[in-house]
Amino acid sequence: MNENGSASFSVEEDIQACSRGTSIERNCPICKSTARLWKCVRSFDIAECGKCSHRFLAKRVSSNHVDSIYGDDYFFGGGAGYSNYLDQSALLRERGREYARRIKKYRSKPGKLLDVGAAAGFLLEGWIDEGWRGVGVEPNRSMCQHAGKRGIDVRCGTVETLDLESDGPWDLISMVQVISHLPEPLESICNLVRRLAPGGLLLVETWDRRSWFARLCGTGWHEYSPPSVLHWFTTQSLQLAATSCGLRPIAAGRVLRWLQVSHAKSLLKHASSGSALMRMAYCCTSPLPGKWSVPYPGDDLIWAIFQKPS
């Protein structure tokens, strides 16, 4: 048994154990085409679309998925989440500022921002530093309380459950490392588009499974961590999802970010069971103080900006 109380397998054993006789009944959540089993990782079947190549968790998640996966343990328990999310405050606030400065190329003045999956509001705080008027949405109550103590407006719930009509329409909606966690990302994007003002922008940050780093790591890539992560996008499948909801692509690029060592250790330890590369990286980072920050070496984190027609 592993530290979470579930059975522990090597990736090779896991693939053999799960793949025999498996059929995929669920169509691709992005283009609705037929999907096939790709591989099984950590006892979870991952499907791949035969048309757009999007990868996703083959089995539909339960109705209480968000509550069961993104509780306090996700933010403080390590593994595929964080050893202590609150330690990321300075780095995340600066990333919010960086995104606000980047958006200036496509929108001259700050406006109203909705940050989806805002957690404790650190990114949102960075946007506010740059003049934006922001509201966050976050399902974890503890994170909302941490934001509220600092005067940051993060509301507990989801876009689907909260009444945000009186605050909108929004000039910008931000989804930073959120879309891969959503059970039905296409439906979620379309729902957000309805809340955007004409000419409004959608910013998405997510992971690119076709990056050289992801392909080098194979099934040991840190993002292959179901059931926390439910979708594995490419730049093409992300653009397809956005355009299917009526948005047009404006700009995209790779994210250059700094990572706190304690968070890196947690991710590498979680991924090390399935990858010799991750085990080696974990050994290299183990001696480093957890409070240090290091540049993230991979090319697998991407951002994209889409616009709603005026």
Give residue 167's domain range: 11-307
pLDDT of residue 164: 85
Residue 224 lies in a domain: yes
Residue 76 lies in a domain: yes
Residue 6 lies in a domain: no
Q: What pTM value is reported for the model?
A: 0.84
Question: How many Å separate Cα 213 from the centre of its chain?
Answer: 17
CATH assignment at residue 138: 3.40.50.150
For residue 132, which amino acid is it? W
Mean pLDDT in the chain?
85
Residue 4 lies in a domain: no
User: Mapped to the 3 state alphabet, what secondary structure does 58-120 carry?
Assistant: CCCCCCCHHHHHCCHHHHHCCCCCCCCHHHHHHHHHHHHHHHHHHHCCCCCCCCEEEEECCCC
pLDDT of residue 263: 63
What's the N-to-C CA distance of the chain in angstroms? 54
Q: How many domains does the structure of the chain reveal?
A: 1
Residue 3 lies in a domain: no
Residue 5 lies in a domain: no
pLDDT of residue 160: 84
Give the model confidence (pLDDT) of 148-162 as tens digits.
999 999 999 988 888
